[in-house]
Amino acid sequence: MENIAQIDQKIQALMWQMRKETLVKMQQPFSIDEKSGRKDLVTTIDKSNEQTIISKIRELDPTAQILGEEGFGDQVNQINGRVWLIDPLDGTMNFVMQQNNFAIMISLYEDGIGVVGYIMDVMNQKLYHGGTNGVFINDQQIEAPANLHLKDALIGISGPLLIDNNHNLQQIARQSRGPRMYGSAGIEFAKVLTGELVGYVSYLRPWDFAAGKILAQALNLQVKTIDGGPLSMLSSNVVLVATERASKEIVTLAN
Ligand code: IPD
Ligand code: CA
Ligand code: CA
Ligand code: CA
């Protein structure tokens, strides 16, 4: 395998290529299927994006495991060694209904530790990327957001969790300046990175949070389960990403 700086340049280029291809494919007819039901869609673009990304990563890093949402990667049962996580289209419902507010995400973990993460906000032409060497939006490095309290800021909460008032989330929303809901984990993580949101809570699978977790932790944000525990990288979690202050406040209110 090439060194991580070379790989990083190539994955950044791949993300821009995927953005371009996605914009082209959106203009052509594509089919939409239901997965578990009418609120869980998959398109032929989710699948073809995943296939393109996987074949490129196989070329760059042939011995790594690849975990992709649409199942074109490996059956990953353990997080040891190098593991790439891929969400080829995050916010598929938004993609279908709005043609906006969706992302493409890739990340690399080594022995369970995040190395680099990438979130492409396709319609806003913004690539959030980096790791312990810094976090960037396109070529611009960004600073850690202010360590705000919950009461002083907006909070992202997924629709289903807020509607059902799981984990006392309606009270948590009340204590903030207001809840927001964007329908793409990638876009919501990005808004926490820039400080537009003080935090984000959602029930997520590993490819939904893997890239965001690396970028958030590199900016001193806390990424935990809603109980304040560590996330499992191989199963679903109720994920909380937030400033250090808001994270403590939310965990206390939720439990
Ligand atoms: C979904 C989105 C959504 C979140 C769901 C995810 P997908 O990802 O990120 O915001 O609430 O839990 O599954 O399926 O569109 O990639
Ligand atoms: Ca999906
Ligand atoms: Ca997703
Ligand atoms: Ca997806």
List the domain boundaries for the chain. 4-141, 150-254
Query: Could you tell me how many residues make up the chain?
Result: 255
Q: Report the separation in Å between the CA atom of 203 and the middle of ligand 1, taken as the mean of its atom positions.
A: 9
What are the tokens at 186?
């990638």
Instruction: Choose which CATH entry (3.40.1350.10, 3.30.160.40, 3.30.540.10, 3.20.20.140) describes domain 4-141.
Output: 3.30.540.10
Q: Are 119 and 190 in contact (CB under 8 A)?
A: yes
- Name the residue of 181, 188, 208 whose CB sits within 8 Å of the most ligand 1 atoms, as the mutation to test its pocket: 208
Protein residues with C-beta less than 5 angstroms from the ion ligand 4: 69, 87, 89-90
Task: Give the phi and the psi of residue 42 in degrees, each rounded to 5.
Answer: -140, 140
How is domain 150-254 classified at the CATH fold level?
D-Maltodextrin-Binding Protein; domain 2 (3.40.190)
Task: Record the pTM.
Answer: 0.98
235, burial (CB in 10 Å: exposed 0-12, middle 13-18, buried 19+): exposed
Distance CA 136, CA 186 (A): 15
90 is an annotated ligand-binding site residue: yes
- The one-letter amino acid code at 152 reads D
Please report, as a single letter, which amino acid is at residue 5. A
Q: Which helix (H) or strand (E) holds 97?
A: helix 92-98
Q: What's the complex ipTM?
A: 0.98
* Residuewise pLDDT in 10s, the chain (255 residues): 789 999 999 999 999 999 999 999 999 999 999 999 999 999 999 999 999 999 999 999 999 999 999 999 999 999 999 999 999 999 999 999 999 999 999 999 999 999 999 999 999 999 999 999 999 999 999 999 999 999 999 999 999 999 999 999 999 999 999 999 999 999 999 999 999 999 999 999 999 999 999 999 999 999 999 999 999 999 999 999 999 999 999 999 999
Is residue 49 classed as helix, strand or coil in its secondary structure? helix
> Phi then psi for 83, rounded to 5 degrees?
-130, 125
Please report which ligand is nearest the Cα atom of 95.
Answer: 1
